Chains A and B, each alone.
Chain A
Amino acid sequence: MATFELYRRSSIGMCLTETLDEMVSTGALSPELAIQVLMQFDRSMTEALETQVKSKVTIKGHLHTYRFCDNVWTFILQDATFKSDEFNDQARRVKIVACDSKLLSQ
Chain B
Amino acid sequence: MATNVSAVYIQVVDDVISKIRDEFINFGAGESALAELQAMWEMKMMQAGAISGNIERPAPQKNVAPTPVHDLNVPYEGPIEEYETPTADMLFPPTPIQTPLPGTDSGMYNIPTGPSDYAPSPIADIRNSLDLKTGRPSPYMQPPSPWMNQRPLGVDVNVAYVDGRQETDRGSSQQAMTQNVVNQLHKGSPKHGQGSGTSKVIPDRGRPALLPQSDGVQDDYDDLFPFQGVATEDYNTPGDHVELRTPTPAVATPKPNKDEAEDDEPSLNEDDDDDDELDDDQDDDEPNTQHLVLALFDKVTRTKSRWKCTLKDGIMHLNNRDILFNKANGEFEF
Contacts and interface: CB of A to CB of B under 8 A. Distances in A.
Nearest to A84: B325
Given A60-B330, A97-B292, A50 B313 contact: yes
Interface string A28-59: 11101100110011001111111011111111
Task: Please tell me the size bucket of the interface on A.
Answer: 35 or more
A4 to B, nearest CB: 7
Given A18-B44, A98-B295, A12 B332 contact: no
B326 A55 contact: yes
B77 A92 contact: no
B329 A66 contact: no
A49 B328 contact: no
Interface in A67-93: 68, 73, 75, 77-78, 80, 82, 84, 86-87, 89, 91-93
A44 B315 contact: no
A93 B278 contact: yes
A93 B291 contact: yes
A101 B1 CA distance: 25
B140 interface: no
B80 interface: no
Interface of B: 1, 8-9, 11-13, 15-16, 19-20, 23-24, 27, 29, 33, 36-37, 40-41, 44-45, 48-50, 77, 278, 281-282, 284-286, 290-298, 300, 307, 309, 311-319, 322-334
A40 to B, nearest CB: 5
A37 B297 contact: no
A20 B37 contact: yes
Contacts of B319: 89, 91
A13 to B, nearest CB: 9
Given A11-B317, A33-B23, A40 B16 contact: yes
Contacts of B307: 63, 66, 75
Of residues A20, A37, A46, A47, which shows the largest number of chain B Cβ atoms within 10 Å of its Cβ?
A37
A91 B16 contact: no
B297 A33 contact: no
Interface of A: 4, 6-7, 9-12, 14-16, 18-20, 22-23, 26, 28-30, 32-33, 36-37, 40-41, 44-50, 52-64, 66, 68, 73, 75, 77-78, 80, 82, 84, 86-87, 89, 91-101, 104
Of residues B48, B49, B328, which shows the largest number of chain A Cβ atoms within 10 Å of its Cβ?
B328
B19 A28 contact: no
A23 B40 contact: yes
A49 B297 contact: no
B294 A15 contact: no
Contact of B332 (A56, A60, A91, A95): A60
A3 to B, nearest CB: 12
A75 B332 contact: yes
A11 B48 contact: yes
B34 to A, nearest CB: 9
Given A23-B37, A93-B278, A99 B297 contact: yes
A19 B8 contact: no
B25 to A, nearest CB: 11
A84 to B, nearest CB: 7
A36 B22 CA distance: 11
Contacts of B294: 6-7, 9-10, 97-98
